[in-house]
Amino acid sequence: MDPTMENLVAADGIPYWSVLGIELVDVQKGKVVLRLPMRPELATRRPDLMHGGAIASLVDAASGSAVATLRDPEDTTWAGHATTDLNVSYLRPIRKEAVAQGKVLRAGRTTVFVAVEVHNETGDLAAAARITYAIARRE
């Protein structure tokens, strides 16, 4: 794992990750891999299935982290980034763990497009997502 990229993601410091149990697996510029182990608190009414809201939160975390890796520490105009659109297609159930791979598709000065694939414990594609971010700039 690239320590510089890891610091950019860690500097993002989102307490919600701890609440959910999200773990950073790998980070490179424009790419992030996160893991979310299943816990009873993340289940639907069926205790063996991960709730779609937990999966969407993982998607948002992976995409936001991928965007964070784009920040140049020397760029004093970058004031932060925020999700403006998030679309998740749920394809298969997740029972034991979710692994999300976020990748920046295109980045402009104020808008970034990201794709996230979420795989379940057997490696099957369980969810696919497209996310748009706004980059806030200081002038």
pLDDT of residue 60: 97
* Torsion angle defined by CA atoms of residues 125, 37, 56 and 116, in that order, rounded to the nearest 10 degrees: -40
Selected residue with higher pLDDT from 71 and 130: 130
Query: Which range among 7-21, 89-103, 115-129 shows the weakest confidence by mean pLDDT?
Result: 7-21
Average pLDDT score, the chain = 93
pLDDT of residue 14: 80
Instruction: For residue 4, report the phi and psi dihedrals to the nearest 5 degrees.
Output: -65, -45
- List b or e across 57-74, with b for residues whose CB sees 16 or more CB atoms inside 10 angstroms: bbbbbbbbbbbbbbeeee
Q: Residue 86 in contact with residue 131, Cβ under 8 Å? A: yes
Q: Where are the beta strands (DSSP E) in 1-139?
A: 23-28, 31-37, 78-90, 97-107, 111-119, 125-137
Q: Is the pLDDT of residue 23 over 70?
A: yes
How many domains are contained in the chain?
1
Selected residue with higher pLDDT from 96 and 16: 96
Q: Is the pLDDT of residue 9 over 90?
A: no
Instruction: For residue 76, report the phi and psi dihedrals to the nearest 5 degrees.
Output: -80, -5
**CATH number reported for the structural domain that contains residue 46 in this entry:** 3.10.129.10
Average pLDDT over residues 46-53: 97
Domain that holds residue 90: 3-137
Specify the pTM: 0.92
% of the chain at pLDDT higher than 70? 91
pLDDT of residue 6: 64
